[in-house]
Every structure is written in structure tokens, then in C-alpha cells.
Amino acid sequence: MTSIRRSLEMHRGPQLERASRLNARKSMSLGSRVRKSMILDRPASDAGSQPIIAQGGPDPLALVRRTPASLRSILHIKAGIGVLNLGWDRYWGELRGNLVALFDAEAQHWTGSDSEPSMNYIFSVLGCIVARKKGNIIKIRRTDSPVPVFVRFATEAECERWFLVLAKLSAQRTVTIADFEFVAPVGKGASGKVFLVKDRKTGSKYALKIIEKRKVFEHKSAFRHAVDERAALELVRDHPFFIQLRFAFQSKTSFFLVTDFYEGGDLFQYLKSNGCLHERESRQLMAELVLALEYLHAKNVVYRDLKPENILLDEGHIRIADFGLCKKLTKAKFNGLTSTICGTFTYAAPEMLAVKHYGLSVDLWTLGIFVYHVLRGKTPFEAKDLEQVIHNMNNNPIQFPPGLSKHCTALIKGLLEWRPENRLGCGPGGISELKSHPFFEGMDFEAVYKRKPNRDLLFESQTNAKGTTGELRNFDMTEWRDVSFDKEGEEMETADITLWPPVKAAEVPSEDFYLAGYLMGSA
């Protein structure tokens, strides 16, 4: 612990003193609870706390710029009527979500969002009619618009690839709040509320997160978190260990995220009902977490909010939830690092508390805190405020529970190494290095990824202590009984569909709390 003491004292100054006083701020991320932990959510720079309007207004294309392209190629575009010229114009085209973005043709050499060229036009294909024509041409039109758009490709194969994707996307079902019946509230946090809802058309049960736009657009950091969350949910689609987004839409006052509903509840509630995990159970849990974080880190995304409250249980397996603090790290800014102080203070990494630029390393620290937490029922530096946490890091050696194997102890110590460069999982191989740690000896990670059954899965209770057997049996309903939502006051809109005919990117409205690209339909 002497190295921790020296490092903390070395960085203890005005910045760390400011960080240690963050306990005065009582903000919460969705799914957390005041009685359990306090949340840090403050940028190292004061710029993040300034109102967005004072900084020149929000960027309505921020999410589109963050969304990776699923298709990209040179396109020749012609519109019969409208803003585009009547002749064929050559563009570099990318499909980002449900939107087609058109750049100057020279942009085909662009390789990432760090240096994105100017976007010329943008349009949505949702609700469109897409048809193949002769000469490697696709015709896109809307029944409520006289403006058809023709897209010509260099090869038949390229045309077919785009046609199949666009045709499927155009036929997707989009929803509004009227498509759902509210069943019960199941969560609340700083950014929004969560409800169990029922799809009126299919009868399927979902979790509906409602985010108040007023809070999102109030400050730069809140806006960035909302964009990052929506982008991250797109990024983790079809991964077995993340919650799955099914619909997304917006009204004039709210954002809505519709994800699968997982009856197992969260890991915090599981630990509360069943007690701490056995080491063999934590081993299976950690293997799934390593694969999940490995995927995010490969995309250069730092999660920053690992804790039992954000781990949902799905038929014995994990589903990571709440991406409000996720961030895509880009080399154009601070060489791929960030400096925002956020997350749960008992989980915060030293490099974050020292108000230094940090990267993926903070997720490895929180992974160490997490495994200790589920094994012992509390975090290793547990305290009621941040100042005391820092004191404990300085002065109190970690107390390991009796009976813990030497390999598990070594894993936790390696993850809680003070200096990021010496921390387990922060070497050249990244978090993948954990797979070869003795703690995971004999673990078949391919079988783990395929969610194959084994005896150490955390199966949720089929009946709670009160004898309840319904889909809410693993949720503490008394905690959320005062949470409500007035859907009658919502003015509904499916905003992305209005981006037709092709709109000049510079003319996409920046007022009225609009964020292009938020809409997501389902087949």
C-alpha cells in the first residue's frame, strides 16, 4: 500500500481536493440508488457544466457523426425534383443507422470520425419504397412526396448489397409512446425513468427508458452522455452480454429507449436476496464480463460505470445495462484519453480521482472493485464519502475474505494496481490478457460466449420472499412506487422520417431539442 500512499499524496493538490469534494453533488445514474452509493458526474473542465445554448447550441448531427457506417461507397445521385441537381452528382455515401449521409467524393479516403469531412446532404430511408432498376440503379421514393431519388452504383454486386439493406430498413416498424401499455415503474435515475411496458401490437414485454430532453440539452456533459448512450446501444447490438435495443424514438420533450426486459432483475437485488457469490460463481460472472468489456475496448469505448446495479440477469447470464457514461475515445482528442470524473465514487480509479487524462484502464480498476464487491458484499475501500474513500486507499490494506483462492486474490490485486501501466489487463494485449490468468484456468471462453449452460450460472428466483411469481418478482417495487410518467402531455413525432427529400446537412434544425439519427425501428 505504500505505492498507493505515495501516488495519492503525489497527486493530492487543488485538483484532487476538488475531486474529493464531489460528494456534495447528489447526482445519480439510471438504476442506482441513493442508499447504496453516491455518483460522481462532473467534468474535469468547467466547460461541461456550461449551458449548451451559451456555447452556440447543440449539434443536431452529433449522433450521426458518432454512428459507424454499415455501408459505404461512391454513389451517383439524381433527384427528379428538389434540392439536388437534375443531373447525376457524384458523392461518397454512407449508411449510418437509418440515414444516408452524402459527402464530397474525395471523402472516400476518410477512415474515422476523428477528422470527418463536411457532410453535404442527409436523408432517411424509413418509410420509403425502395426498388431495383436497370443499370445498377436503386429508386427511393416516399408515397407522401413527389421527389424520387435515384442512386447509381459502379457494379451490380454493390447495387445488390445496398438494395437488400435499404429495402429491409425501409420496411421496419417504427413506434411512438401510444404503441405501449405501461405496466409498472422499475427504475429511476438522474437521466430518466424506466418502466415495464407491453407492446400493444405484439404483446411483448419491454423496458422503456424515458429521458427528459430538458435535462439533456441543459449542459454539454449531459448532451454528450445522451449521445454516447444511444451510440453505444447501437454498437452492442446482437452481443450476448449487453442489453438489446429494440426501438428508439423521440418526442418534442423526451427521448425513448425500448430494450428487452430481463425478469432476473439486477445483480444488486440478487446479492441482497441471496448473499455474496461463491468464488466459482464469480469466476463464471467475471468470464462473461471480460468478454463484454473486451468487445467495448476493441471498439475503443470505455464503460466507466461497472457495478452490480448495472448488471441484469438473463436466464443465468449477465446483460450489461446503462450506457450513459460510456465514451468513445478518439485519437484526435488528448491522444485517445478523456478526463471526465464520473461513475460511483467507491469504484473510481486513482487516475480519475487525480483529475488526470485516462483511458480504458479505469474499466480494469472497476472490474477489480466489482469482483471484490460480489465476493464480500462491499467494496474494498467502502466509505460514506469520497474523502474517506481516498483516506482508505491511502491507509487501509485490502482485507480479503477467508477461503479465497490465491489465484482470485492475485487477480484482484493485479486489477487494483495503482499505476495503470502496471495494472493487469492494461498491457499490450489489453483486457484479453485476463483470459490467460490462472484464475480462469480451464475456462472455455468460446463456450462462455455461446452462453452454454453450466452449474455456476446465476439463475434468478422463480418466486420472491412474498410468494410473487410474475415478471416483477425480482424487483423491489416499493422503491419505485412513486415514479410516474404523463404520456398524455407528449407531442409525438418520428423526427428522422421528416428528413426527406435529401436535406442539406447544414440546414438540419439545431433548435427544438432535435437529435438526428435517434430513431430506430424493428423488423
- d(CA 128, CA 521) in angstroms, rounded, equals 13
Is 215 annotated in some ligand binding site? no
Q: Read off the pLDDT of residues 406-461 as tens digits, 9 standing for 90 and up.
A: 999 999 999 999 999 999 999 999 999 999 999 999 999 999 999 999 999 988 66
pLDDT band of 6, cuts 50, 70, 90: very low
Beta sheet of 492-493, edge-to-edge order: 180-188, 192-199, 205-212, 254-260, 245-251, 492-493
pLDDT of residue 82: 46
pLDDT more than 90, % of the chain: 61
Phi, psi for residue 369 in degrees, rounded to 5: -60, -40
251 inside domain: no
CB 11 within 8 A of CB 3: no
pLDDT tens digits along 81-132: 544 556 899 999 999 999 999 998 877 655 444 456 689 999 999 999 999 9
Q: Give the pLDDT confidence score for residue 268 in this predicted structure.
A: 93
In a domain, 101, yes or no: yes
Q: Could you say which of 266, 305, 314, 322 is catalytic?
A: 305
Q: What is the spatial distance between Cα 206 and Cα 183, in angstroms, rounded to a whole number?
A: 10
pTM recorded for the entire structure: 0.84
* Local confidence band at 466 (pLDDT 50, 70, 90 cut-offs): low
pLDDT number for residue 519: 94
Residue-level pLDDT at 465: 53
Please indicate, yes or no, if residue 96 is contained in any of the structural domains.
Answer: yes
Give the pLDDT of residue 479.
Answer: 76
| Gyration radius of the chain over CA positions | 24
Kindly state the cell numbers that stand for 128: 420509403
348-377 pLDDT, tens digit each: 899 988 878 889 999 999 999 999 999 999
pLDDT of residue 133: 95
Output the average pLDDT for the chain: 84
Number of domains in the chain: 1
As to burial, measured by CB atoms within 10 angstroms (0-12 exposed, 13-18 middle, 19+ buried), residue 481 is exposed
Domain span at 109: 62-172+496-507
The Cα–Cα gap between 515 and 509 comes to 9
Query: What is the model's pLDDT at position 117?
Result: 65
> Does any domain span residue 109?
yes
Question: Each residue of 194-245: pLDDT tens digit?
Answer: 999 999 999 999 999 999 999 999 989 899 999 999 999 999 999 999 999 9
Q: What is the pLDDT of residues 310-339, one digit of tens each?
A: 999 999 999 999 998 899 887 644 445 776
| Average pLDDT of the residues in 292-311 | 95
> Residue 411 domain-assigned?
no
Highest mean pLDDT among 44-58, 290-304, 322-336: 290-304
- 196 within a domain of the structure (yes/no): no
The domain that holds 121 is classified in CATH as 2.30.29.30
249 and 346 in contact (C-beta within 8 Å)? Answer: no
Residue owning grid cell 443499370: 135
* Per-residue pLDDT tens over the stretch 162-180: 999 999 999 999 999 999 9
Within-domain flag for 94? yes
68-79 as b/e, with b when 16 or more CB fall inside 10 Å? Answer: eeeebbebbbbb
pLDDT of residue 146: 84
The answer to whether residues 209 and 257 touch, using CB atoms and an 8 Å cutoff, is yes
Tell me if 81 is assigned to some domain. yes
Query: Is position 305 annotated as part of the catalytic site?
Result: yes
Q: Does 10 score more than 70 pLDDT?
A: no
